């Protein structure tokens, strides 16, 4: 049944998720067996979170395939080309990025996966941080959209030139709620060095990524402990910030819910503080995830600051500046939330060994 509906790529994705879950579990095991300054409680929580995300991801894939046999993408998506976005994006006008002529077969740019994420940016929050999805983007255009109050920003992967990565995204501030930004992604990344890529495995800090072995560089013991404490605290703060900024709002049409799960690994203190952090829901055509802060107080005083140019912020340097650990969690979450990534996570960028 599942097998019937599931293509090789989906199966590979599933295997990848499960394998990752197993590997992460081993890492967690290593934490228990070799207690070291780096085996902080937070580090274990992170691993636990990743494991859960991984397994939920796998389960979600099964749900999708069971439910529909297809991962649903935006209208107009060519169902036969859903497995992987071909490098079919032949640019008009200027130089062709690739000479691949697949586009001629009707498999044009509309055949690329497309999904939307809605992000709420509380006032006073650094936009770059909130919108940082782990990839480097370069803005290539901005346009006023009919009947939209705010202009739409157009971004492409900075690795387009060097690696021919065709991923793009559009960012548009919501009319109704200026604190909300709609980010529409198109095409998946085929570049190999997204800093905190959607591929969770590549987002792991090096010492957690290598199998079972935690490498702590030799340092004077006191310094070691101080640093460990410092990092632990930093981690904790970042995680706290991260969790605070997260709460998933159910997409209006709950009828389309395909997967939902809870995250019991969230530290209980945070759970108490931010009870809405409970479940993810997926809608049918476009997956919408609203990152929502439990802060009712923000209003648009600060919005004017965000407005210009649909915040040329999001991109390039920001991801590399982001603390890798807190960003890891975001990266993993993005991965979970993006159906197109489920669909194609066995692609080259997704699980490239490094």
Partner DNA sequence: ACAATTTGACCCTA
Partner DNA sequence: TAGGGTCAAATTGT
**Residues in contact with DNA by the rule CB under 7 A:** 76, 91-95, 97, 108-110, 138-148, 152-154, 156, 158, 168, 170, 186, 308-309, 312, 315-316
Nearest distance from residue 192's CB to DNA, in Å?
A: 17
- Give the shortest CB-95-to-DNA separation in angstroms: 6
Please tell me the distance from the alpha carbon of residue 218 to that of residue 7, in angstroms, as a whole number. 47
Alpha helices in the chain (DSSP H): 2-5, 8-33, 41-67, 127-131, 160-163, 206-209, 221-245, 268-273, 303-306, 316-321, 324-337, 339-344, 348-351
**Strand 290-291 with 114-120, pairing:** parallel
Query: Nearer to DNA by C-beta: 170 or 283?
Result: 170
Q: Which is nearer to DNA, 146 or 218 (CB)?
A: 146
Residue (76 or 220) nearer to DNA, CB: 76
Nearer to DNA, 241 or 307 (CB): 307
Which residue lies nearer to DNA by CB, 97 or 273?
97
Cβ 8 to DNA, closest distance in Å? 29
Least Å distance between CB 305 and DNA? 13
Q: Give the Cα separation of 49 and 258 in Å (integer).
A: 21
Burial class (CB in 10 A: 0-12, 13-18, 19+), 335: buried
Inter-residue contact 139 to 312 (CB < 8 Å)? yes
Closest separation in Å from C-beta 189 to DNA: 15
């Amino acid at each position: 049944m599942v097998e019937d509906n599931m293509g090789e790529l989906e199966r590979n994705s599933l295997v990848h998720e499960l394998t990752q879950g197993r590997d992460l579990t081993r890492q967690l095991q290593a934490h228990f067996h070799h207690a070291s300054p780096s085996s902080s409680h937070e580090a274990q929580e992170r691993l636990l979170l990743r494991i859960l995300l991984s397994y939920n991801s796998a389960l979600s894939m099964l749900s999708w395939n069971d439910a529909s046999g297809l991962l649903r993408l935006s209208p107009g998506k060519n169902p036969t080309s859903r497995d992987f976005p071909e490098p079919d994006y032949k640019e008009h006008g200027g130089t062709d990025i690739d000479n691949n002529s697949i586009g001629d077969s009707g498999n044009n740019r509309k055949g690329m996966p497309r999904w939307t994420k809605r992000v709420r940016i509380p006032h006073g929050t650094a936009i770059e941080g909130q919108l940082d999805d782990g990839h480097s983007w370069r803005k290539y255009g901005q346009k006023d959209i009919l009947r939209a109050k705010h202009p739409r920003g157009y971004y492409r992967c900075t690795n387009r030139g060097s690696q021919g990565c065709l991923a793009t995204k559009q960012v548009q501030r919501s009319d109704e709620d200026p604190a909300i930004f709609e980010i529409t992604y198109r095409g998946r990344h085929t570049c190999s060095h997204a800093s905190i890529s959607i591929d969770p495995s590549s987002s792991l800090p090096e010492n957690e990524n290598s199998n079972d072995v935690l490498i702590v560089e030799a340092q004077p013991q006191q310094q070691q402990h101080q640093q460990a404490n410092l990092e632990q605290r930093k981690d904790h703060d970042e995680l706290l910030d991260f969790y605070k900024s997260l709460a998933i709002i159910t997409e209006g049409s709950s009828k389309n819910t395909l997967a939902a799960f809870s995250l019991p690994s969230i530290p209980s203190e945070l759970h108490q503080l931010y009870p809405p952090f409970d479940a993810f829901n997926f809608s049918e055509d476009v997956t919408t995830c609203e990152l929502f802060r439990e802060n009712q107080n923000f209003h648009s005083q600060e919005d004017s600051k965000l407005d210009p140019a649909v915040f040329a912020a999001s991109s390039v340097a920001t991801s590399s500046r982001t603390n890798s650990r807190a960003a890891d969690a975001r990266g993993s979450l993005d991965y979970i939330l993006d159906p197109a990534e489920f669909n194609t996570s066995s692609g080259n960028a997704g699980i490239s060994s490094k």
